[in-house]
Chains A and B, each alone.
Chain A
Amino acid sequence: MSAALLIEQLLNGLQFGVMLFLMAAGLTLIFGVMGLINLAHGSLYMIGAFAAAGVAGWTGSFWLALMGALMAAAMIGALVEMVVIRRLYDRDHLDQVLATFALILIFSEGTRFFFGSLPLYLDTPDLLSGPTMLPGGIEYSKYRLFIIAVGLAVGAGLFWLISRTRIGIQIRAGEADREMIAALGVDIRKLYTLVFALGAALAGLAGAMIGPIQSVEVGMGEPVLILAFVVIVIGGIGSIKGAFIGALLVGLTDTLGRIMLPQLFGLFMDASSATTVGASLASMTIYILMAGILLFKPSGLFGGQS
């Protein structure tokens, strides 16, 4: 394999990892602060993508579409929190799983009702279409570089928000002891709605940004949701840092596995069966990675005691 191809695949893996981070960050934050497992997080990703496709179709502007997706996901997130999710904080995980599974059914079918079953497509904005020349003479898609940049910027912003701002202090305090910070005069209900809307906005952003790469369709959020779970399990629940490292690990492992395993098996098998076996195993690599990490650290790389 040539160095250029390897670097291209590394960047693809990075881009995939950054997307997963946007999903996993929201999930892990919501779990860390509210103790809620939210299966409907993938629906918010889907809502972001559909809102972006809708706004782009209406205005023709990618940037307005991105704004629209953020706002739609945050608003629907806040609404869902106030109507349904709020009632689930005191419930056991089983009730949370079922209620949020019910939300998936409602959101998926609702979206199908409004947008139809055909996939939608988002255009890459002119500014970011086509490849760019990286140092070393490697051509790489500008749009994917944009995703990596946005993802890293959002990650940095999130670290800053959590560790340096007043809201961040309240969020961390909420993770540690919710009764205490309520007693100290923080409106915990508002804080919860805010955290949920923040997580939703991150998911919506991820969904909107993936639009120009993949087709926008009902059910698109679920594979990403499950990968985000794998990320969180690897990184440790409640840890943003863990989500970041986990997301990059999963993104790189998955992307490189798909390229390298068929080649690896090609060394001692005939080409067609190497492709078959390689592809089948490549679809399992991240789960094997997860199992391996669990064997040594049952609560993830950066998790406390589970």
Chain B
Amino acid sequence: MRRETILNLAIPGILLATALIAYAMDEPYIITLATKAAILALAGVGLNIALGLGGLVSLGHAAFFGVGGYAMGILAFHAQNYMPIWGVIEGTKSMPIIWLVALIASALTALVIGAMSLRTTGVYFIMITLAFGQMLFYFAISWPTYGGEDGMSIYLRNGFPGVNTLVPLNFFLICFVILAVVMVLTDRLGKSAFGLALQATRQNAARAEAVGLAPYRLRLVAFTISGAVTGLAGALFADLNRFVSPSMLSWHMSGEIMILIILGGIARLSGPVAGAMLFIALEYVLEDLSHYWHVYLGAILLGVVLFARGGVIGLIAGREVAHD
């Protein structure tokens, strides 16, 4: 097995082991942190489809994360108030339905934003995705029905058939299984004809076009899938906190999801998982150490970008870039 293949199994394994050991030692807070890491990793895996495979530097993925979060928030809000949406659609507290709605809503959002943003490339694309993300952020702030600036709380975590989701370990396992399934699917996607074509457009769009591929369509599909996965992560994140607010849509969120990928290693299958664990661990350790922990996070990020471009996995697995 290649060193990276071993890592792809070992890194999620460490996450699972952390949660199980924390369960054995009766440390529910650590389980919650592990759950947060799994969810952020899922968001990162989503962004990595656009960023790693497609080379699309989206600084607006918080939009999809937030749309997923609000999908959960709105459905659960109507369910807990026994107040159908527009008087017709019943809300729901069932996770599978919420996930489906979150996937569809964020995919549609990504399709619309992508269709406009992908007409441009390079810096324009970065700025435009950022701007559209900000648009949804301000919309959420100024729309009072679902809490506006204050966000809204959901009293009780949503349910999953046959599982008591109030037990921290159970909810972790749900998130972890979703993460694992999505990672396997992403791996397959990267090796499929579609994935190869997408990577070709990243490496050289003009040549890809010359052999008959349609970069715009490939990128749009990748962007939509990417947004959908990040949206699913948003729904889980909202469920973890039992709270949705515009901060899920803020561009800091986009930046954080991107940081996860870079800390772990870009275009690596388990890069976002390693990055998310590192990010959460840093947050946990540094926040204790200093109130101003973002300074250290910034310094570490700067160091990784300037001097260790492969991220954690790049350091361990050797080759600096996974693709090419």
Contact = CB atoms under 8 A, between A and B. Distances in A.
A8 interface: no
B301 A94 contact: no
Given A98-B259, A98-B305, A280-B139, A226 B131 contact: yes
Given A101-B255, A113-B295, A280-B139, A287 B127 contact: no
A101 B302 CA distance: 9
Interface residues of B, number: 42
Contact of A229 (B130, B259, B294): B130
Contacts of B139: 280, 283-284
A299 interface: yes
Given A103-B298, A106-B295, A290 B131 contact: yes
A222 to B, nearest CB: 7
A299 B138 contact: no
Given A284-B139, A298-B120, A97 B144 contact: no
Contacts of A287: 131-132, 134-135
Interface of B is mostly: helix
B119 A294 contact: yes
B296 to A, nearest CB: 9
Interface in A98-113: 98-99, 101-106, 108-110, 112-113
A87 interface: yes
Interface residues of A, number: 44
A20 interface: no
Contacts of A279: 142
Contacts of B309: 95
B123 A37 contact: yes
Given A226-B131, A287-B132, A294-B128, A106 B57 contact: no
A291 interface: yes
Contacts of A108: 294
A113 B296 CA distance: 13
Given A109-B294, A294-B116, A97 B131 contact: no
Interface in A270-306: 276, 279-280, 282-284, 287, 290-291, 294-295, 298-300, 306
Contacts of B306: 84, 87, 99
B131 A233 contact: yes
B292 interface: yes
A280 B128 contact: no
A37 B126 contact: yes
A283 B138 contact: yes
B134 to A, nearest CB: 5
A102 B143 contact: no
Contacts of B57: 93-94, 97
Interface of B: 51, 57, 59, 116, 119-124, 126-128, 130-132, 134-135, 138-139, 141-144, 251, 255, 258-259, 262, 266, 292-295, 297-299, 301-302, 305-306, 309
9 A-B pairs with the lowest CB-CB distances in the bound complex, closest first: A105-B298, A287-B135, A283-B138, A106-B298, A102-B301, A229-B127, A102-B302, A109-B295, A109-B294
Given A105-B297, A283-B139, A300-B124, 19 more contacts: A31-B123, A84-B306, A87-B306, A97-B57, A97-B59, A101-B259, A101-B301, A102-B299, A109-B298, A229-B131, A233-B124, A237-B124, A276-B144, A282-B142, A287-B132, A291-B132, A294-B116, A294-B120, A299-B124
21 contacts: A37-B126, A93-B123, A95-B309, A98-B305, A99-B301, A102-B299, A102-B301, A102-B302, A105-B297, A108-B294, A109-B293, A110-B292, A223-B134, A226-B134, A229-B131, A232-B127, A233-B128, A233-B131, A287-B131, A291-B132, A294-B119
